[in-house]
């Protein structure tokens, strides 16, 4: 113990002499110097590691922000495509939250001002959650659109097939109506001519009857009378035939009414379509489109 005290006293004396010689109050020993050097190296390594980590986080943040911009553009493209195809689009508030809103309010391409690593980690995590939510939303929208198309494909095909059939029927009906009107006009003209011919035949027959009664040649008068009677019968039969044909045309179902019936049927399907659209718009869905169904 006495030897240790002597050594410590000697060390203190040596340090005092060295301090007086160097003009310093404190003198650092080699052990203390190595200890301080190791601490400084550790702090330097820690600083370099954190700096590298912070640079990686900044780069990741920029990548995530650019990814978010691309998702936004894709989102708008899908929305615009749905609107161009005549589908309804229901908008809702996207991703509420004070933290995410604060991220959205920042410039998308600006570098973060803070050097807080933990803050950057939280910010990157929030942006990643937002991107995942947007990606899930787009995936859900595509699935809903595909499911809706498959569900209503047969109904839509039936609707458009019925519409095409109605258009063809309307065109044929108008064509048949024009042809019928032309045919009726021709029959009416023939009927007028036949009635005039019948009147002329009756007049001739009356005249030949008078000639028969007052003629010296009974055989010639009888022959002429028979000819006139045949002409009158032919005219009568022709008039009867024309009147019957005219009555048949008049008794047919009006083609315009038939066309109107099909038009009303199409309007009924279109009304069902509109009602279904309104029902779909009122459903609590995220956002998307709803096609016409009936």
pLDDT of residue 288: 43
- Per-residue pLDDT tens over the stretch 11-20: 677 767 766 6
pLDDT > 90 fraction of the chain, expressed in percent and rounded: 0
Q: Is 133 part of any domain?
A: yes
Residue in 98, 94, 97, 99 with CA at minimum distance from that of residue 123: 99
Q: Is 19 part of any domain?
A: no
Q: Is 195 part of any domain?
A: yes
Question: Rounded mean pLDDT of the chain?
Answer: 69
pLDDT band (50, 70, 90) for residue 266: low
pLDDT of residue 167: 83
Q: Is 288 part of any domain?
A: no
Q: Is 11 part of any domain?
A: no
pTM (2 d.p.): 0.29
Q: What is the mean pLDDT of residues 269-289?
A: 50
Q: Is 192 part of any domain?
A: yes
Q: Is 234 part of any domain?
A: yes
Question: Range of 47's domain?
Answer: 25-282
User: How many domains does the chain divide into?
Assistant: 1
The token duo for 76 is 């708008």
- Per-residue pLDDT tens over the stretch 120-144: 778 888 888 888 888 888 888 888 8
Distances (CA, A) of 83 to 23, 78, 80, 288: 86, 9, 5, 10
H helices present in 87-116, as ranges: 98-105
Q: Is 35 part of any domain?
A: yes
């Amino acid at each position: 113990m006495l030897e240790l005290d002597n050594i410590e006293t000697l060390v203190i004396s040596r340090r005092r002499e060295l301090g007086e010689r160097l003009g310093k109050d404190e003198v650092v020993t080699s052990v203390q110097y190595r200890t301080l050097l190791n601490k400084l190296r550790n702090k330097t390594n820690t600083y370099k590691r954190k700096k590298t980590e912070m640079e990686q986080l900044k780069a990741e943040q920029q990548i995530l922000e650019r990814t978010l911009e691309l998702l936004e553009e894709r989102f708008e493209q899908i929305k615009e495509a749905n609107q161009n195809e005549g589908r309804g689009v229901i908008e809702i508030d996207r991703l509420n939250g004070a933290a995410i809103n604060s991220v959205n309010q920042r410039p998308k391409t600006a570098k973060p001002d803070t050097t807080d690593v933990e803050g950057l980690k939280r910010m990157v995590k929030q942006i990643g959650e937002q991107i995942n939510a947007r990606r899930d939303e787009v995936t859900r929208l595509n699935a809903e659109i595909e499911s809706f198309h498959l569900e209503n494909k047969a109904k839509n095909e039936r609707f458009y097939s019925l519409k095409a059939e109605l258009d063809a029927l309307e065109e044929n009906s108008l064509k048949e109506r024009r042809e019928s009107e032309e045919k009726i006009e021709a029959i009416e003209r023939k009927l007028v001519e036949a009635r005039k011919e019948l009147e002329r035949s009756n007049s001739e027959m009356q005249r030949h009857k008078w000639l028969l009664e007052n003629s010296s040649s009974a055989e010639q008068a009888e022959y002429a009378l028979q000819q006139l009677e045949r002409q009158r019968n032919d005219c009568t039969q022709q008039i009867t035939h024309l009147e019957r044909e005219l009555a048949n045309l008049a008794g047919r179902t009006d083609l315009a009414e038939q066309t109107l019936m099909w038009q009303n049927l199409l309007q009924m399907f279109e009304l069902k379509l509109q009602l279904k659209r309104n029902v779909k718009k009122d459903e609590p869905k995220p956002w998307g489109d709803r096609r016409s169904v009936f």
